[in-house]
Structure 1
Amino acid sequence: MDIVNPNAKAGWRHEREEASLSDVYRSVQTHTHGTRWRRIAAFLGPGYMVAVGYMDPGNWATSLAGGSKFGYALLTVALLSNLMAIVLQSLCARLAIASGRDLAQACRDAYPKYVSVPLWAFAEIAIIATDIAEVIGTAIGLNLLFGIPLELGVLITSLDVFLILYLQKIGFRWVEAFVIALLAIIAVCFGVQIFLADPEWGAVIRGFFPTTEIVSNPEMLYLALGILGATVMPHNLYLHSGIVQTRAYGHTVPEKRQALTYATIDSTVALCFALLINASILILAAAAFHANGKTDVVELGEASSLLAPLLGLAIAPTLFGIALLCCGLNSTVTATLAGQIVMEGFLKIRLQPWVRRLITRAIAIVPAAFVTIWYGDKGTAELLILTQVVLSLQLSFAVFPLVMFTASRAKMGALVAPRWLSAIAYVIAVLIAGLNVKLLFDFVVG
């Protein structure tokens, strides 16, 4: 039987030296001899942790701004982003299962230092941008629900390190269960709000069809790229390629093919669910704000206060605040793991989880605290949207290596991506890069 050695050098410059997330590596049994459904269930979880990136607080800001300003027109961007993510996340699973590396380790083992170190820096910038969005979103959620001042809420978010440490200590399945439970709460909250908003469903359906105005209108393109950056997030690519390896799948080619199939099913189903939530934010903004002439709603706090009179139910702002707080808590878990994967994978630096968490949290808290104290709600809204555009600009530096690795038979062996899949992935990578060039050109000219 053909055995795949994950430490084999093959097409890599360096051999793999350590496992990704070594403390939870292959810690979840996959019931090799169980029923098909039981084996599939064993792989469920990582996809939903990736799906959290679709509904983080930064995504709320871009979707609220896009929905209130342009109605349902940007739903096509949400759909396109989702399709891109399905392809890219499937490649993340393929890279991890075929090579035994996460994306950070793969970059380190494939490129010389003068390439891998800048890639590490770009990845860290993306994680910091993600963390800033989470800090602000969680603080706003605490403010909406409990009246805690934003400045104090920003500082309180640093305490989430203890929650994450506890969940990791009792088992990785508990981390996944926590994330999925909060996703269910978010879905219920948005389901009720959409029902109250009663959107024009014909316009919703038309919103999923593309229009040339998105590219020709610089303001719409800016928000479209923000939605893209909030959906197909760079840290998600590193995250997925690491947490897939928490499953104890076999080492033979047939076993790895089966693991890849189940992991792809997990991520695809989870991302389709995330599209519903992601689109719901934009639909709610279009139905509640744009339809009522409120075309400049960008602050999360302002959106919450407007929901009660517009939807006619006092509980609407509470549901909004609960969903926002759940999003912030969920995002902190996934960003922490992504930060650990990036630092360990690129630099081989292993820190205690609480040390790593406090460092990344401190880096995010400083700019977030400054903006909330100096500019208030208006500044936080603009910073949230800016973080998502920064994520979009960083995306190509993660996407191109991922596509190139998975298209290489020397690196992937028998699990190399089919040519049609690699072709689609290259088109996605070029499209993302082209949109970013257009954004920078508009910014410079404007």
Structure 2
Amino acid sequence: MLDSSIFAPQENKVRMQHHSDKSLSDVHGSVDPMKRKAGWRRILAFLGPAYLISVGYMDPGNWATDIAGGSAFGYSLIWVLLMSNLMALLLQSLSARLGIVQGKDLAQCNRYYYPRSINFILYILAELAIAACDLAEVLGMAIGLNLLLHIPLLVGVSISVLDTFLLLFLQRLGIRKLEAFIITLVAIIGLCFWIEMWYVKPEPLEVIKGFVPGIPNKAALYIAIGIIGATVMPHNLYLHSALVQTRVTGSDRQSIKRAIRYNIADSAIALNLAFLVNAAILILAAAVFYKAGLHEVASMEEAHQLLAPMLGTRWSSHLFAIALIAAGQSSTVTGTLAGQIVMEGYLSLRINPVIRRLITRLLAVIPAIIVIVVMGETEVNAMLIFSQVILSMQLAFAIIPLIHFVSDRKGMGEFVIGRTTKVISWICAGIIIGLNLWQLTESGREWLTHTDHAWVKILIWLFLAGFVALLAITICYPLILRRQQRHHVMHNRSFDLTGLKPARPFRNIALALDFGAQDANVLSYAMSFAAADTRFFLVHVVESAPANTLGAASKDMESLEDQQILDEYLAAFAARSLTASGNIAYGNRVQAIENFTKTNQADLLIVGSHGHHSVMDILLGETVNTLRHKVNIPVFIAQ
């Protein structure tokens, strides 16, 4: 190595930028419970991921089914909520187990195992499910703002776009801060409904009778299906398997067992709180509307308008709206996180987090705005119901792979689920799949009766056939084909370091210079990575207005000064008998550096840190993060 003291850096820090295949890599392994003293502090460090999951089980999409069920059938469908919650608890515990043991989230496991064509379809379905979920959350928050502050729905939907930047800010503070924010919103929802129960004063014996299974009629069966479909959310299965990886888990058997046990406890506490909130909504509708003979109340607006006059206090309506806003806000945060996980997991693609979250939000906001503008605010509830139908249709394609993965001994080792758990899991999956097929059949029959166009009927039949075929492939693929030796048990993996050879020094090093304070660091690290015969290639991009327009022909003052500085750098290399050449480039920074690196066949690129983050990346540009995806050599950031 050459003497790096030639160019003394201000600070000796360096980071290697590479593509991370870890779920939510910016917060992956950011919480280490073992640093806490043994006891309740260590247990509390494990708790948190399930609270981010729980908000999906009390989002605005659940409210409509709970209100409809309570107003139409009183307390008789509470047992459906309990059954749905138990199914959700089982599936979320399986998702957490997958993330802890295999070190991959559900989307990554799908990409790693299923064929590329099937994966692409599963990815599209997952994105549609997240967009549908986000749509319900956006509309719920907009309805809450409208009910509480009389803000028009169109304005409320537009305001929800700002949630993207709120999430980015919270995530930069750390996963624990994000979890604390969500837990606070969950506490607000719970407090609002606890006060509502004090106003309502439901009859305890009648509530207890609601836990006895029974379906009064066909209409009740339809609502029960809606409750189940709105409770178990597909995006939560992707999300949970990633969030558990924010905790540092040891690789030994005891540490993994402890992590699984604590995360099951975390799920049980959080999802039972979600069950209490959903039960409170249904009980509220039963005690107020069903008892008064108002059996047709199904929308949140109707519920809000009727609560105050029937309970004799305006606070009942205000608390309802506040809880709705908190539910929409908390759910939208987790929905956008799920979008990031699905894209990174299925496509192995990481883009700017702000852009990714804007995409997720716009996929929900744009349809909502179009419907409100074209069809009016009266169609908002119909859109909410439609979002839940999309969610229920996608659910099977998340549950089936999950059960396959945690049942596979090759992938899970000794932590594979037992036979009893496997049977119960497939029963739950069978119930959900059966209900979805029934709902899809009924919807298809309705679609066919409402059209006389032959080509429309053909498209409907093709859609139904494609859905069933994809369902069959998702179920049967792991059972028919033998698994290739691609799955490994992460915690049992060991490496033999004796056969590894030391990496040779870099022979062609490209240096991207900005002629500022960071150059000293860039040049110093270049010396430390170089051998005696290393060649250095220096590049600086001129970004003045004339240079961007005319390129090398501009000859403006900035271009001339930059060329002079570059010549001084090259003279310093020559004075130390180092082989170096340089070039002044023009135009787009990323493209210019990428072309320069490839032209000179560099095997290492060193750049200086730009020193700005978040919103400033959008305003000033994010050269390094974009550049590292453009080149196929190591990229170091000197700070």
Pick the TM interval, shorter chain. Answer: over 0.9
Are the counterparts in 2 of residues 225 and 392 from structure 1 also a CA contact under 8 Å? Answer: no
Instruction: Write the distance in 2 (CA, Å) between the matches of 1:411 and 1:378.
Output: 50
Residue 62 (structure 2) aligned to one of 33, 52, 59: 59
Q: Does 1:201 align with 2:208?
A: no
Instruction: Write the distance in 2 (CA, Å) between the matches of 1:221 and 1:122.
Output: 26
Provide the TM-score with structure 1 as the length reference. 0.93
Deviations 1:365-419 (A, max 9, x none): 1221122234444311122122123212211110010011101101111211111
1:207-356 equivalent positions in 2, closer than 5 A: 207-213=210-216, 217=218, 219-356=219-356
User: Which residue pairs with 2:106 in the alignment?
Assistant: 103
* Alignment gaps of 5+ in structure 2: 1-18, 447-639
Aligned length: 428
Instruction: Write the distance in 1 (CA, Å) between the matches of 2:369 and 2:222.
Output: 25
Provide the TM-score with structure 2 as the length reference. 0.65
Instruction: Write the distance in 1 (CA, Å) between the matches of 2:47 and 2:241.
Output: 15
Q: Does 1:68 align with 2:68?
A: no
Residue 49 (structure 1) aligned to one of 48, 52, 64: 52
Are the counterparts in 2 of residues 301 and 377 from structure 1 also a CA contact under 8 Å? Answer: no
Deviations 1:262-298 (A, max 9, x none): 1111011111111101111111111111111221222
Higher relative contact order (CA 8 A, sep 6+): 1
User: Which residue pairs with 1:433 in the alignment?
Assistant: 433
Instruction: Write the distance in 1 (CA, Å) between the matches of 2:388 and 2:273.
Output: 21
1:375-414 equivalent positions in 2, closer than 5 A: 375-414=375-414
1:19-30 equivalent positions in 2, closer than 5 A: 19-30=22-33
Give the aligned residue type for 2:118.
Answer: V
How far the C-alpha of 1:350 sits from its partner, in A, is 0.6
Query: Which protein has the bigger helix share?
Result: 1
Are the counterparts in 1 of residues 215 and 221 from structure 2 also a CA contact under 8 Å? Answer: no
Q: Does 1:367 align with 2:367?
A: yes
Are the counterparts in 1 of residues 71 and 290 from structure 2 also a CA contact under 8 Å? Answer: yes
Larger Rg: 2
How far the C-alpha of 1:358 sits from its partner, in A, is 0.8
Instruction: Write the distance in 1 (CA, Å) between the matches of 2:209 and 2:370.
Output: 41
How far the C-alpha of 1:17 sits from its partner, in A, is 7.0
User: Which residue pairs with 1:177 in the alignment?
Assistant: 180
Q: Given the superposition, is the C-alpha separation of residues 212 and 305 from structure 1 closer, same or farther in structure 2, using an over 3 Å criterion?
A: closer
How far the C-alpha of 1:32 sits from its partner, in A, is 5.5
How far the C-alpha of 1:172 sits from its partner, in A, is 0.8
Q: Does 1:190 align with 2:193?
A: yes
Give the aligned residue type for 1:391.
Answer: L
Are the counterparts in 1 of residues 72 and 296 from structure 2 also a CA contact under 8 Å? Answer: yes
Q: Given the superposition, is the C-alpha separation of residues 237 and 49 from structure 1 closer, same or farther in structure 2, using an over 3 Å criterion?
A: same
Are the counterparts in 2 of residues 61 and 298 from structure 1 also a CA contact under 8 Å? Answer: yes
* Alignment gaps of 5+ in structure 1: 1-15
Are the counterparts in 2 of residues 253 and 414 from structure 1 also a CA contact under 8 Å? Answer: no
Give the aligned residue type for 1:114.
Answer: S
Give the aligned residue type for 1:353.
Answer: P
Instruction: Write the distance in 2 (CA, Å) between the matches of 1:357 and 1:19.
Output: 18
User: Which residue pairs with 2:418 in the alignment?
Assistant: 418
Deviations 1:285-331 (A, max 9, x none): 11111111221222212211111011111111110111011001101
Displacement over 4 Å in runs of 4+ = none
Give the aligned residue type for 1:131.
Answer: D
Instruction: Write the distance in 2 (CA, Å) between the matches of 1:403 and 1:208.
Output: 28
Deviations 1:3-45 (A, max 9, x none): xxxxxxxxxxxxx971111110000111256223222101111
User: Which residue pairs with 2:80 in the alignment?
Assistant: 77
Deviations 1:97-118 (A, max 9, x none): 1110100001110111122111
Deviations 1:103-134 (A, max 9, x none): 00011101111221111111111101101001
Instruction: Write the distance in 1 (CA, Å) between the matches of 2:384 and 2:335.
Output: 16
User: Which residue pairs with 2:120 in the alignment?
Assistant: 117
How far the C-alpha of 1:347 sits from its partner, in A, is 0.6
Identity within the alignment, %: 51
Task: Identify which range, 399-408 or 380-389, moves more after superposition.
Answer: 380-389
User: Which residue pairs with 1:12 in the alignment?
Assistant: none
Instruction: Write the distance in 2 (CA, Å) between the matches of 1:224 and 1:376.
Output: 29
Give the aligned residue type for 2:427.
Answer: V
Instruction: Write the distance in 2 (CA, Å) between the matches of 1:293 and 1:396.
Output: 37
Are the counterparts in 1 of residues 138 and 157 from structure 2 also a CA contact under 8 Å? Answer: yes
Instruction: Write the distance in 1 (CA, Å) between the matches of 2:236 and 2:434.
Output: 21
Deviations 1:77-99 (A, max 9, x none): 11111000110011011100111
Are the counterparts in 2 of residues 46 and 244 from structure 1 also a CA contact under 8 Å? Answer: yes
Q: Given the superposition, is the C-alpha separation of residues 293 and 82 from structure 1 closer, same or farther in structure 2, using an over 3 Å criterion?
A: same
Give the aligned residue type for 2:267.
Answer: S
Are the counterparts in 2 of residues 299 and 378 from structure 1 also a CA contact under 8 Å? Answer: no
Instruction: Write the distance in 2 (CA, Å) between the matches of 1:374 and 1:310.
Output: 34
Task: Identify which range, 106-115 or 232-241, moves more after superposition.
Answer: 106-115
How far the C-alpha of 1:348 sits from its partner, in A, is 1.0
Are the counterparts in 1 of residues 90 and 425 from structure 2 also a CA contact under 8 Å? Answer: yes
Instruction: Write the distance in 2 (CA, Å) between the matches of 1:308 and 1:322.
Output: 14
How far the C-alpha of 1:182 sits from its partner, in A, is 0.7
